[in-house]
Amino acid sequence: MSASTRIADLLSDGMKALKNAGVEAPAREARLLLGVAAGVTPTIMIGFPERSVDVESAEKFRALLARRVAREPISHLLGMREFWSRPFAVSRDVLDPRPDSEALIQAVFDELYDRRRDYRIIDFGTGSGCLLLTLLAELPAARGWAVDLSPAALKIAQRNAASLGLSARVAFRQGSWDAALLADDPAGFDIIVSNPPYIPSADIAGLEPEVVRYEPHLALDGGADGLTAYRALAPVIARLLAPGGLAAIEIGLGQGESVRALMLAAGLDDAGTALDLAQRERCLLFRKG
């Protein structure tokens, strides 16, 4: 790679390296990395590509580039991922918030007739907290419970709650599903959300390198058929959901029929579905009569 510190040369080298590594948007990501490394704005990159950056910033850019070439997620290098127009801190301890998960958020809001109510909301497998914290940010009187088996993931969720000014309205609980709530009075949640592990174990190795190498398998591995977490969650949701309450559950490709059957067998009522950006069934909705 060239030792030049000109913006144009750094971006050119970066784009070539990222393209060769199989990154889908090499030009965009090269600009993002240079922005982080050198504080150079897109306006400067485009309008004044002949300008140089200092040697230290150029080396920082090359170090970030090497990590991205190894397919470390761009969000880890930037330190955040945007979700519902808000920044969420991420690390290899949590799944990256994904645009497709915004379908769950929209589905919940479409079902609420009064955003000023003091809803009780619980998020099973909260990870970064993006689902719960987004709901709390839009529902100013609501209170939330964030549950995760991973202490490291809960630390990220706590960090995000603090940065969004929501810490006072969230209780963080470490443990497996409802076992994490033993010290609480868990009856009567108005809204239950979850994006549980749903990838069949044998399929994980075939996922993108960013996922396989850098995201927590605990949050990915759904067991042999991808449905292990749903089997555990179905009776928990049926017990904890308040009468008339809403459950919104994210699912993987082709899992709708199976997950719906599990939830209905637990005594929940089918309340619809939500599609993701590719018009695939992404979220299932249930009510408790």
Is 198 marked as a binding-site residue?
yes
Does 85 fall in a domain? no
pLDDT tier, 5 (very low <50, low <70, confident <90, very high otherwise)? confident
pLDDT tier, 1 (very low <50, low <70, confident <90, very high otherwise)? very low
CB 17 within 8 A of CB 1: yes
CB 127 within 8 A of CB 219: yes
> Whole domain around residue 37: which residue ranges?
7-70
Is 119 marked as a binding-site residue?
no
Is 148 marked as a binding-site residue?
yes
What torsion do the CA atoms of 194, 199, 204, 210 make, to the nearest 10 degrees? -40
Does 175 fall in a domain? yes
Q: Do 100 and 225 share a domain, yes or no? A: yes
Give residue-wise pLDDT tens across range 22-71.
Answer: 999 999 999 999 999 999 898 999 898 899 999 999 999 999 999 999 99
Report the distance separating Cα 119 and Cα 115, nearest Å: 9
Give the end of a domain, one of 70, 99, 125.
70
Does 161 fall in a domain? yes
Average pLDDT over residues 227-246: 96
- pLDDT, position 186: 64
Dihedrals φ, ψ of 170, to 5°?
-125, 135
Alpha carbon 202 to chain centroid, angstroms = 22
Is 195 marked as a binding-site residue?
yes
Q: Do 102 and 45 share a domain, yes or no? A: no
Q: Do 279 and 196 share a domain, yes or no? A: yes
Q: Do 202 and 232 share a domain, yes or no? A: yes
- pLDDT, position 4: 59
Q: Do 49 and 183 share a domain, yes or no? A: no
CA triple 16-20-25, angle to 5 deg: 70
Is 97 marked as a binding-site residue?
no
Is 128 marked as a binding-site residue?
yes
Q: Do 64 and 127 share a domain, yes or no? A: no
Average pLDDT over residues 77-81: 93
Is 114 marked as a binding-site residue?
no
| Average pLDDT over all residues of the chain | 94
DSSP reduced 3-state for 222: coil
Does 54 fall in a domain? yes
Is 127 marked as a binding-site residue?
yes
CATH of residue 178 = 3.40.50.150
Helices (H), 143-255: 151-163, 209-214, 228-240
Q: Which amino acid is at 280?
A: R
Q: At what angle do helices 151-163 and 130-138 cross, to 10 degrees?
A: 30
Give residue-wise pLDDT tens across range 263-284.
Answer: 999 999 999 999 998 999 999 9
Q: Do 55 and 95 share a domain, yes or no? A: no
| pTM for this entry | 0.92
pLDDT higher than 50, residue 125: yes
Domains in the chain, number? 2
Give residue-wise pLDDT tens across range 238-256.
Answer: 999 999 999 999 999 999 9
Does 51 fall in a domain? yes
Q: Do 123 and 219 share a domain, yes or no? A: yes
Q: Do 237 and 165 share a domain, yes or no? A: yes
Is 145 marked as a binding-site residue?
no
Please name the residue that has the structure tokens 């950006």. 277
Is 126 marked as a binding-site residue?
yes
Residue 132 host element (H or E): helix 130-138
Beta-bridge partners for 189? 241
pLDDT higher than 50, residue 115: yes
Is 225 marked as a binding-site residue?
no
- pLDDT, position 3: 54
pLDDT tier, 143 (very low <50, low <70, confident <90, very high otherwise)? very high
CB 240 within 8 A of CB 122: yes
